[in-house]
Amino acid sequence: MAIRHGGPRPNLGALLEPALPEPLRRWQPQIRYLLLDEQRDAGAELSGQRNLAAALFRLENSRSPEDIRPVLASLIDWLTEPEQGSLRRAFVVWLKRVLLPARVPGTELPDVADLEEMHAMLAERVKTWTEEWKQQGVQEGLQQGLQQGLQQGICQGEAKLLRRQLVRRFGALPGWAETRLEQASEAELERWAERVLECATLDEVFAA
């Protein structure tokens, strides 16, 4: 797997907050660990590595059937020994049951039994599936946009209601308070709404 040299090695001690008092630091765990960041490590830098984990990461981050085919070609080349048969079958099963159904939902997959057949099948269907994958990406983008729009609408509605309550309690709002309301998250709006009837001043409502 890709190990980035030259920088600080990940250490468990650096993740502990707050730091222990000086007399106790000698007993603080200092266990090093290897960080495998799939999203960061799945780029072109792994394409030339003869590494099964890197191949799996590249498959999971594939954006089209054309991204899968070179990885399969590499796996076919690497997994040639008889004792590697279980690994070949494991990749085929994972592709059939996990990756491809997620990329082309509802599509009936042919009964392929080995990596060579999987590679040939992708070559036959590359054009059709590329279009389906693109369409799925469009649909996911639309759903995400709708969810974000709905969430934004909820926040705007809560901010409007909270503003009316604040004006009724404290009078006209200064510019800084209007800005805080416009930029607030849902959690902040909920927290401020709970303080409206309890706090004596506007500053107390917006306090951290």
Q: What is the SS3 assignment for 80? A: coil
Reply yes or no on whether the pLDDT at 36 is more than 70.
no
Average pLDDT, stretch 87-104?
86
Per domain, the residue ranges of the chain are 42-143, 148-205
Task: Report pTM.
Answer: 0.47
DSSP-assigned letters across all residues of 163-174: HHHHHHHH-SPP
Query: Per the structure block, which two tokens stand in for 202?
Result: 């506007």
Q: Which helix (H) or strand (E) holds 152?
A: helix 115-170
User: Which of 168, 167, 159, 154 has its CA nearest to residue 193?
Assistant: 159
Plot region of 124 (φ>0 → left; ψ -120 to 50 → alpha; else → beta)? alpha
The residue with greater pLDDT, 90 or 41, is 90
According to DSSP, the residues that pair with 11 across neighbouring strands are 32
Q: How far apart are CA 135 and CA 155, in angstroms?
A: 30
pLDDT tens digit string along 151-201? 565 567 778 888 888 888 888 888 888 888 888 887 888 888 888 878 888
